[in-house]
């Protein structure tokens, strides 16, 4: 070992440290990547070494490389190793690296729980601080759940440095584990009201919707900043402030409209954007047109596409906000939209398009106008598409074509529009737009037919058919599947119609019927609101899910389908029927999902020269002013018109009012103030089609909430009283349904077997790292030859163990084999690296005896036959050994978990280093037992309520029958009462919330309220249950006595030496003492026992003398000074409640008398 | 909430990055590039606030930065943070660095990234402002450094 250390430090001398690495990278500017990759190789070597200093150095370098963009997650496990170093220097490096690269997906993160818990309760405040800081960066829901209670304890730490951090991190914990908010809230509130200046950061928590005043955090510092800050910041902040005021006092901001518009000219983009934001909030019916006009001017002036795009979206946002609330004249709005299409290089073509569609569909009165505008747009499409750079804007053609087609009855000259839509140049448009063109050409065709139907000379109709037949082949050859399909379909249709026309058959009506029916907009949330019909299970499989192999088979099929268009470009009719049916299905689905029928799928836009296209004359309209679409009414004109109209209206209204007033006398007050919003009537009857909702839609209010808002989870009613189920998990036991022990054991025995086979290899194939860690420790222990203990272990109860065990097994359900390997490795390393601290934490061992709770247990209660059946598959000779091992392992679990619960922190506090490990301990003691059922129980105080204790009872079904309808009842005393649900009588029994199949055990918790805690107490109770076997069922009953010791009212509470000294000095405490003779165990075992069984924590330990502390649920302080010499232990104790102290000491004495 | 703290130099080379929200490494680098691009093209005489970065947090997020000699200190924050508060915090952070490194310059940050992190950890924790009093921060940092030294001498 010594040699290793020497070797390590020599290695270290040659290792690069962070500075060397940085220097090296700077010296290799030209081949940086290569240099770094050699460095990473070196780091990998360093990480393989045993020396923790070398490892820490390597991890530190990795942190630097992470900043440069290198993924270092492969070293996550090494980071955990460094984190668990006992030295602050390395621990800090480890936590830093973890905070830089751990996240919820990091699998080793769940291995850190115990380490973090240990650091949190470390006597060194900086260990705690570093752990809190690290945790704040990578806390996961699991960590939050497991550590919430520990962190809550830290909120009343003696050091303000820790308190402050603990309070801050609670916010993160709430976000990850919202259930913790309600139980933690009272203490949090207390902390917030705490005038202690050390915790100024606590006001941060206001953000958790607790109090929304975070903005006023540091008024003083802000003022200082204002002084220091430049003018631009002030301008920016002024605008920001205005947007806040706007929400409450819109009028006062609106008067600064001009000022804000001026800010749009500012050279600072941040300020311009702020101003834009503000404008959004301050438009009204009255000023909308004016503001938008100003914005349009800016659009023309704007440099840089980003800002111009921002302007464009803002204009659209402003106009369309709250369902076009502020638009009084939709003609104006359409003109604005059309003007916006002139923008060069905008990315927002689709935005304009969707607005056009929206308005045209929903505002019936505007359709005529919109259609005329869109027809002009289509006619001048080349202006939009001329430049390939301006691709984005051609999206508006999609809208234009659809509007012209759908509302073609408003078209003045459908023939001309039809011609415009079938120009060869259209073929250069993106596929999804062409598809709309084709489809709507058919609609126009129907309109034309209808118009000319009945005329004797149906020349026009026949010309139209011919036009379509001439032009459509261009589209039939399109590379785009959608276009090609639609075009060929329509082409055939037109050909057929042409035939009929030649026979003078009237077809118009039937063709129109193809496109009959009106589309109504569907409300965005309509789908969500459709109530699920009764009896419909959406999660159920309709057909059996396809097996893996099938899905693989499908892949090549999909590829084939994709390639298909190439083959069938010219002869699509060859496509087999199945394929057609499939396509039809797809199309139907698309149509169902898209109110506009058209699937907007971008695709390649290849042009295929088809025979017969060249001879079509391409008419290019040459315009001298290319950017002004001819015949377009400019939006400005509307502004003028609108103003005039309003003037007129106003005047008329006044007149009317006058008349009225004359008629009615002076009943009404004069309305001389400025024109109010409501007075402005829309220019023409605007009929906004309401969005459709499904019949009997479910009313729901939660629509507006953003499902991604991380704070949503915190919308919790904080005023409701706490339910028991809500209390923070106090680590000992979580009621969880347990697997049958049989299953459990089977799964474990597999790794067991491999373990036998070879020495080192065995570690690589374990199910669960926790288990494994323990197992390897077990081996160590073996070496130490605690044979006596092993025998004793055998006789320990099984049932209490099971709950822990199953939980452990269930905890990492996602573990993959690789992960397991890593974990196993980790455990081995952890052991070597951190033997003094973490190993000691996990394994506290002293052989001597089983703890108090065990002795009255009967020997191995498990029936032998069940056992053997479980191991049928195993070889007989191995069976016995395995059994033994398993048992031991299980005990370890058990014990470890309990160690976590109470003993752990304290043991660390006691600086147990490199001493003999402690034996497993359990606080569960037998409650009652008969041939059917066995109950063991443990009583725990509850932090959150000073008058409650939780009794955890594990029920184990020992019989071969099914146990159900278990009812638990206790005869209340004046002092202690079982908490029953509201409405239940004082003598009613509580139903145990589960049933027990044979051999299964499960845990239930019962809450008792206690008044005085200074005396121990016994409560009589009864458990009744029904035993159900195949033939019969019987009603059974089991009496028990619940023993509330004074110890069970104590809660392990960390205390630091300075606070401890103060407490003793205060003189409020009364003393007592106790002598124990003939104690034959190491001092640290003694301390660990007191910690574990009596919920104490070690404050300080010097040689053979230790001070300990605990607190009762009602806040009594209990201080112990334990000294030992020659098998004699003397305990001097102080407490503010002498009788409580007396009883606790008696119980301690009893514990050791059993040793 | 602070979403990220980035320190990079006039050429966009990162000197310290601290994300309080998980992003994969390549995304982090992209964010650094984007942020550098946004910040570096701004004059020194315009305001220290900037909106419109697309990578973190979307619209509810803002860059608050200060430019010192060769370094940009950029804090990406959401709307719950006070702009001036953060601006001041950057100042406090830089002054603290100045005190801890004695006339801090870019080289200090380059070679002692870990130490800069430790100082930052006393200022901001998990994206929340922890301490704004420079003396308090310096005191805590020094206590921890002393602890580290004592551990080294123990060896």
Contact A1085, A896 (CB under 8 A): no
Cβ of A215 and B144 within 8 Å? no
Buried b (16+ CB within 10 A) or exposed e, B77-94: bbeebbbbbbbbbbbbbb
Query: pLDDT value at position A909?
Result: 41
- Percentage of chain A exceeding pLDDT 90: 7
Least confident range from A174-178, A631-635, A650-654, A1130-1134: namely: A631-635
Instruction: Nearest by CB to A222, from B18, B84, B112: name it.
Output: B84
Q: Does A651 touch chain B (CB under 8 A)?
A: no
pLDDT tens digits, one per residue of A403-435: 998 888 888 888 888 888 888 888 888 888 889
Q: What is the mean pLDDT of residues A56-64?
A: 92
Return the pLDDT at A192: 65
CA atoms within 13 A on the CB side of A759: 0
Sign of CA dihedral A217, A223, A228, A234: positive
Q: Does B27 touch chain A (CB under 8 A)?
A: no
B13-60 pLDDT tens trace = 999 999 998 888 999 999 999 899 888 888 877 888 887 666 666 667
Q: What is the pLDDT of residue A719?
A: 66
To the nearest whole percent, how much of chain A has pLDDT over 70?
62
* Four-CA torsion A728, A731, A735, A737, nearest 10 degrees: 130
The average pLDDT across A712-741 equals: 57
- Write a three-state SS string for chain B: CEEEEEEEECCCCEEEEEECCCCCHHHHHHHHHHHHHHHHCCCCCCCCEEECCCCCCCCCEEEEEEEECCEEEEEEEECCCCHHHHHHHHHHHHHHHHHHHCCCCHHHHHHCHHHHHHHHHHHEECCEECCCCHHHHHHHHHHHHHHHHHHHHHC
Q: How many Å apart are CA A53 and CA A85, to the nearest integer?
A: 9
Round to the nearest angstrom and report the end-to-end CA distance of chain A: 36
Fold (topology level) of B2-154: Beta-Lactamase (3.30.450)
Q: Average pLDDT of chain A?
A: 71
Q: Note whether A176 contacts B: Cβ–Cβ < 8 A.
A: no
pLDDT at res. A509: 82
Rounded CA-CA distance A97/A59 in Å is: 7
Please tell me which of the candidates B29, B46, B126 has its beta carbon nearest to residue A268.
Answer: B46
ipTM confidence score:
0.96
Residue tagged 């030859």 (tokens): A785
pTM, 2 dp: 0.49
Compute the count of residue pairs across chains A and B with CB atoms less than 8 Å apart: 160
* Chain A residues lying within 8 Å of B14, measured CB to CB: 67-68
Q: Which of B40, B56, B130 to mutate to test the interface with A (most CBs of A within 10 A)?
A: B130
Range in A120-134, A171-185, A641-655, A1108-1122 the model is least confident about: A641-655
Query: What DSSP string describes A1056-1082?
Result: -HHHHHHHHHT--PEEEEEEE----S-
Within 8 A of A241 by CB-CB distance, chain B residues are: none
State how far the Cα of A905 lies from the Cα of A907, in Å rounded to an integer: 5
Give the pLDDT score at B16: 94
- The pLDDT of residue A92: 93
Three-state DSSP at A970 gives: strand
Q: What is the mean pLDDT of residues A480-502?
A: 89
Cβ of residue B35 closer than 8 Å to a chain A Cβ: no
Write down the pLDDT at residue A116: 92
How do residues A79-128 score in pLDDT, each as one tens digit? 999 999 989 999 999 999 999 989 888 888 888 999 999 999 988 899 99
- Quote the tokens at residue A1037: 């009953």
Tokens of A720: 């409701």
Q: How many residues does chain B have?
A: 155
Of B47, B84, B130, the CB nearest to A201: B130
Chain B closest-CA separation from residue A357 CA (Å)? 26
Distance CA A233, CA A225 (A): 10
Q: Residue A107's closest CA among A80, A127, A85?
A: A80
Residue A548 confidence (pLDDT): 56
Specify which of A423-432, A866-875, A1090-1099, B19-28 reaches the highest per-range mean pLDDT: B19-28
The answer to whether the CB atoms of A169 and B129 lie below 8 A apart is no
Q: With beta carbons under 8 A apart, name residues in chain B contacting A222.
A: 82, 84-85, 88
Residue range A1082-1105: mean pLDDT, rounded: 84
| Chain B interface includes A89 (CB < 8 A) | yes
Sequence-distant (≥ 6) Cβ neighbours of residue A940 within 8 angstroms: A730, A732, A949, A950, A951, A952, A1048
Distance from C-alpha of A456 to C-alpha of A359, rounded to nearest angstrom: 38
Residues 6+ apart with CB under 8 A from B17: A67, B4, B5, B6, B7, B28, B32
Mean pLDDT of A257-262: 80
Residues 255-284 of A with CB under 8 A from B: 267-271, 273-274
Domain ranges of chain B: 2-154
Residue A1086: exposure state from Cβ atoms within 10 A (0-12, 13-18, ≥19): buried
Range with lowest mean pLDDT among A531-540, A595-604, A1113-1122 = A595-604
- How far A272 CA sits from the closest chain B CA (Å)? 11
Instruction: Please indicate if any CB of chain A lies within 8 Å of the CB of B144.
Output: yes
Site of tokens 């200093």: A53
Tell me which of A965 and B89 has the higher pLDDT.
B89
- Give the tokens for residue A746: 């089977």
Does the pLDDT of residue A844 top 60, yes or no?
A: no
Q: Identify which of A22, A207, A232 has the shortest CB distance to residue B111.
A: A22
The span from the CA of A239 to the CA of A272, in Å, is 10
pLDDT of residue A215: 36
Q: Residue B117 — pLDDT band, cuts 50, 70, 90?
A: very high
Question: Quick one: pLDDT at residue A277?
Answer: 82
Q: Which residues of A touch B18 (CB under 8 A)?
A: 100
Is pLDDT above 50 for B135? yes
Give me the pLDDT at residue A678, please: 45
Burial code (b: 16+ CB inside 10 Å, e: under 16) for A863-898 equals eeeebeebbeebeeeebeebbebbbbbbbbbbbbbb
Query: pLDDT tens digits for A773-814?
Result: 555 554 544 444 444 444 444 444 444 444 444 444 444 444
pLDDT tens-digit readout, A673-701: 444 444 455 555 455 555 666 566 555 54
Flag whether pLDDT at B93 surpasses 90.
Answer: yes
Write down all domains in chain A, each with its CATH number in brackets.
15-208 (1.25.10.10), 243-327 (no CATH), 925-1044 (2.60.40.1230), 1049-1153 (3.30.310.10)
A1128 touches chain B (CB under 8 A): no
**What distance in Å separates the CA atoms of residue A292 and residue A279, rounded to the nearest whole number?**
10
A527-555 residue pLDDT tens: 777 777 777 887 888 887 776 554 444 44
Overall average pLDDT of the A619-630 stretch: 39
Nearby residues of A960 by Cβ (< 8 Å), 6 or more positions away: A998, A1029
What Rg, from alpha-carbon coordinates, does chain B have?
Answer: 16
What pLDDT shows up at residue A547?
65
Q: What mean pLDDT do residues A437-444 have?
A: 90
Residue A596 banded pLDDT, cuts 50, 70, 90: low
pLDDT at A14 over 60: no
pLDDT in tens, A340-398: 887 766 778 888 888 888 888 888 888 889 999 898 888 887 776 655 545 677 788 88
The answer to whether the Cβ–Cβ distance between B49 and A270 falls below 8 Å is: yes
Q: Is the pLDDT of residue B138 over 90?
A: yes
The span from the CA of A148 to the CA of A1123, in Å, is: 35
Q: Is A853:A1048 a contact under the CB 8 Å cutoff?
A: no
Q: Is the pLDDT of residue B92 over 90?
A: yes
H/E element holding A967?
A: strand A962-970
What's the pLDDT score for residue A791?
44
Residues with Cβ within 8 Å of A520's Cβ and at least 6 positions away in sequence, in order, are A361, A689, A691, A692
Q: Is there a contact between A136 and B126 if contact means CB atoms under 8 Å apart?
A: yes
Q: Do B113 and A64 touch (CB under 8 A)?
A: yes
Find the mean pLDDT for residues A966-992: 83
Q: Do A232 and B83 touch (CB under 8 A)?
A: no
What's the CA gap between B4 and A72, in Å, rounded?
19
CB-nearest to A229 from B87, B118, B151 is: B87
Is the separation of the CB atoms in A491 and A472 below 8 Å?
Answer: yes
Question: Which residues in chain B are contacts of A268 at CB distance < 8 A?
Answer: 42, 46-47
Q: What integer pLDDT is reported at residue A1012 of this predicted model?
A: 84
Contacts (Cβ under 8 Å, ≥6 apart) of A232: A268, A271, B45, B46, B47, B48
Residue A840 pLDDT > 70: no
Q: SS3 for A1001?
A: strand
- With a CB-CB cutoff of 8 Å, which residues 116-145 of chain A face chain B? 124, 126, 130, 132-133, 135-137, 139
Residue A1108 belongs to what H/E stretch? strand A1105-1112
Q: Specify the range with the lowest mean pLDDT, choosing from A241-255, A740-754, A943-957, A1116-1130.
A: A740-754
Q: What share of chain A is helix, strand, coil (3-state, %, to 5)?
A: 55, 10, 35
For chain A, what is the radius of gyration of the CA atoms?
A: 40
Contact predicate A148/A172, CB 8 Å: no
> A609 or B98: which carries more pLDDT confidence?
B98
Which one-letter DSSP state was computed for residue A454? Answer: T
Tokens 């490494």 locate to B25
CB contact under 8 A, B114 and A60: yes
Interchain pair A96, B114: CB under 8 A: yes
Question: Which pLDDT belongs to residue A6?
Answer: 52
Per-range mean pLDDT, top range of A681-685, A1113-1117, B137-141: B137-141
Would you place residue A888 in the very low, low, confident or very high pLDDT band (cuts 50, 70, 90)?
very low
Highest mean pLDDT among A650-654, A831-835, A1146-1150: A1146-1150
Inform me whether the pLDDT recorded for A233 exceeds 50. yes
Q: Do A22 and B48 touch (CB under 8 A)?
A: no
CB atoms within 10 A of CB A193: 8
């Amino acid at each position: 070992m010594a040699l290793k250390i020497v070797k390590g430090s020599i290695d270290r001398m040659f290792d690069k440290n962070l500075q060397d690495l940085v220097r090296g990278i700077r010296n290799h500017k030209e081949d940086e990547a290569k240099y770094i990759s050699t460095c990473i190789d070196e780091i990998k070597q360093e990480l393989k070494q045993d020396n923790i200093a070398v490892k820490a150095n390597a991890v530190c370098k990795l942190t630097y490389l992470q900043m440069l963009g290198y993924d270092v997650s492969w070293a996550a496990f090494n980071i955990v190793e460094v984190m668990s170093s006992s030295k602050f220097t390395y621990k800090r490096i480890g936590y830093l690296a973890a905070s830089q690269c751990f996240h919820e997906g990091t699998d080793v993160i769940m291995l850190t729980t115990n380490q973090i818990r240990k650091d949190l309760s470390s006597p060194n405040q900086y260990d705690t601080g570093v752990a809190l800081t690290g945790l704040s960066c990578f806390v996961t829901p699991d960590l939050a759940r497991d550590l919430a209670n520990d962190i809550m304890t830290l909120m009343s730490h003696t050091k303000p440095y820790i308190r402050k951090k603990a309070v801050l991190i609670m916010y993160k914990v709430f976000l990850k584990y919202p259930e913790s908010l309600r139980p933690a809230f009272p203490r949090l509130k207390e902390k917030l009201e705490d005038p202690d200046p050390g915790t100024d950061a606590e006001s941060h928590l206001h953000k958790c919707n607790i109090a929304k005043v975070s903005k006023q955090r540091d008024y003083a510092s802000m003022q200082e900043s204002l002084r220091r800050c430049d003018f631009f910041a002030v301008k920016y902040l002024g605008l920001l402030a205005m947007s806040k005021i706007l929400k409450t006092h819109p009028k006062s901001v609106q008067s600064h409209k001009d000022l804000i518009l001026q800010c749009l000219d500012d050279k600072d983009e941040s300020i311009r954007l702020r101003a834009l934001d503000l404008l959004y909030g301050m438009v009204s019916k009255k000023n909308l047109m004016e503001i938008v006009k100003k914005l349009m001017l800016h659009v023309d002036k704007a440099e840089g596409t980003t800002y111009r795009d921002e302007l464009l979206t803002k204009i659209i946002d402003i106009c369309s906000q709250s369902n076009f609330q502020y638009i009084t004249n939709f003609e104006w709005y359409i003109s604005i939209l059309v003007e916006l299409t002139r923008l060069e290089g905008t990315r927002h073509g689709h935005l304009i398009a969707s607005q056009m569609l929206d308005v045209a569909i929903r505002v019936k009165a505007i359709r005529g106008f919109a259609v005329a505008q869109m027809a002009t747009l289509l006619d001048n499409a080349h202006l939009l598409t001329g430049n390939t750079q301006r691709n984005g804007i051609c999206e508006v053609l999609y809208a234009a074509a659809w509007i012209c087609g759908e509302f073609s009855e408003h078209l003045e000259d459908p023939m001309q529009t039809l011609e415009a839509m079938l120009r060869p140049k259209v073929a250069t448009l993106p596929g999804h737009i062409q598809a709309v063109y084709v489809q709507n050409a058919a609609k126009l065709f129907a309109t034309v037919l209808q118009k000319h139907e009945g005329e004797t000379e149906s020349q026009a109709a026949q010309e139209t058919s011919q036009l379509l037949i001439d032009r459509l082949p261009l589209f039939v050859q399109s590379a785009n599947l959608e276009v090609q399909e639609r075009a060929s379909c329509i082409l055939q249709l037109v050909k057929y119609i042409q035939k009929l026309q030649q026979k003078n058959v009237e077809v118009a009506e039937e063709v129109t019927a193809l496109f009959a029916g009106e589309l109504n907009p569907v409300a965005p949330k309509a789908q969500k609101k459709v109530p699920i019909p009764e009896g419909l299970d959406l999660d159920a499989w309709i057909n059996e899910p396809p097996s893996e192999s099938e899905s693989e088979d499908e892949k090549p099929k999909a590829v084939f389908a994709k390639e298909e268009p190439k083959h069938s470009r010219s002869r699509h009719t060859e496509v087999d029927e199945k394929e057609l049916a499939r396509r039809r299905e797809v199309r139907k689905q698309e149509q169902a999902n898209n109110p506009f029928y058209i699937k907007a799928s971008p695709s390649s836009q290849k042009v295929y020269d088809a025979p017969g296209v060249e001879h079509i004359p391409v008419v290019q309209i040459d315009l001298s002013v290319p950017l002004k679409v001819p015949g377009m009414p400019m939006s400005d004109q509307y502004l003028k018109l609108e103003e005039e109209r309003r003037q007129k209206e106003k005047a008329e209204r006044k007149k009317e009012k006058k008349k009225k007033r004359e008629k009615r006398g002076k009943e009404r007050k004069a309305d001389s103030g400025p024109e109010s919003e409501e007075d402005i009537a829309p220019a023409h009857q605007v009929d906004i089609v309401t969005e459709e909702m499904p019949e009997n839609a479910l009313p729901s209010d939660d629509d507006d909430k953003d499902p991604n808002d991380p704070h949503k989870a915190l919308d919790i009613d904080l005023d409701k009283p706490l339910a028991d189920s809500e209390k923070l998990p106090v680590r000992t036991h979580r009621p969880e349904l347990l697997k049958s022990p049989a299953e459990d054991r089977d799964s474990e025995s597999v790794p067991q077997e491999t373990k036998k086979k070879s020495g080192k290899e065995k570690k690589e194939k374990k199910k669960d790292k926790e288990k494994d860690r323990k197992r390897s420790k077990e081996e160590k222990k073996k070496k130490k030859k605690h044979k006596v203990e092993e025998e004793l272990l055998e006789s320990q109860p099984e049932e209490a163990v099971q709950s822990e065990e199953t939980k452990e097994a269930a905890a990492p359900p996602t573990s993959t084999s690789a992960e397991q390997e890593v974990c196993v490795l980790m455990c081995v390393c952890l052991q070597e690296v951190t033997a003094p601290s973490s190993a000691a934490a996990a394994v506290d061992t002293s052989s001597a005896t089983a703890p108090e709770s065990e002795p009255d247990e009967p020997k191995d209660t498990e029936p032998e036959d069940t056992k053997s059946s479980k191991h049928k598959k195993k070889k007989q000779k191995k069976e016995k050994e395995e059994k033994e091992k398993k048992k031991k392992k299980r005990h370890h679990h058990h014990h470890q978990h309990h160690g976590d619960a109470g003993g752990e922190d304290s043991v660390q506090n006691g600086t147990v280093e490199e001493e003999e490990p402690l034996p497993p301990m359990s606080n569960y003691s037998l409650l009652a037992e008969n041939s059917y059922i066995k109950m063991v129980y443990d009583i725990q105080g509850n932090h959150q309520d000073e008058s409650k204790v939780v009794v955890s009872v594990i029920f184990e079904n020992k019989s071969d029958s099914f146990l159900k309808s278990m009812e638990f009842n206790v005869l209340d005393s004046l002092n202690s009462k079982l908490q029953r649900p509201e409405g239940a009588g004082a003598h009613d029994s509580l139903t145990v919330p589960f049933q027990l199949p044979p051999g299964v055990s499960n845990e239930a918790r019962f809450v008792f309220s206690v008044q005085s805690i200074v005396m121990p107490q016994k409560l009589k109770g009864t458990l009744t249950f029904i035993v159900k076997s195949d033939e019969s069922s019987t009603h059974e009953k089991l009496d028990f006595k619940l023993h509330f010791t004074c110890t069970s009212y104590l809660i392990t509470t960390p205390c630091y030496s300075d606070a401890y000294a103060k407490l003793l000095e205060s003189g409020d405490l009364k003393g007592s003492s106790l002598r124990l003779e003939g104690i034959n165990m190491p001092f640290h075992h003694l301390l660990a026992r007191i910690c574990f069984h009596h919920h104490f924590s070690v404050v300080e330990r010097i040689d053979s003398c230790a001070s300990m502390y605990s607190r009762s649920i009602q806040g009594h302080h209990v201080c112990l000074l334990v000294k030992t010499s020659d098998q004699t232990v003397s305990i001097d104790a102080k407490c503010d409640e002498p009788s409580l102290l007396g009883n606790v000491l008696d119980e301690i004495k009893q514990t050791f008398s059993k040793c | 909430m602070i979403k990220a703290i980035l320190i990079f130099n006039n050429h966009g080379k990162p000197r310290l990055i601290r994300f309080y929200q998980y992003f994969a490494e390549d995304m982090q680098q992209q964010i650094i590039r984007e942020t550098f691009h946004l910040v570096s093209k701004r004059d020194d005489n315009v305001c220290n606030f900037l909106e419109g970065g697309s990578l973190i947090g979307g619209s509810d997020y803002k860059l608050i930065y200060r430019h010192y000699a060769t370094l940009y200190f950029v804090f990406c924050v959401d709307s719950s943070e006070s702009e001036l508060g953060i601006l001041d915090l950057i100042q406090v952070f830089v002054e603290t660095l100045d005190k801890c490194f004695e006339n801090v310059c870019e080289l200090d940050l380059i070679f002692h990234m870990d130490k800069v992190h430790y100082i930052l950890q006393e200022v901001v924790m998990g994206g929340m402002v922890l301490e704004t009093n420079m003396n308090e921060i310096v005191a805590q940092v020094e206590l921890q450094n002393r602890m580290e030294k004592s551990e080294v001498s123990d060896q």
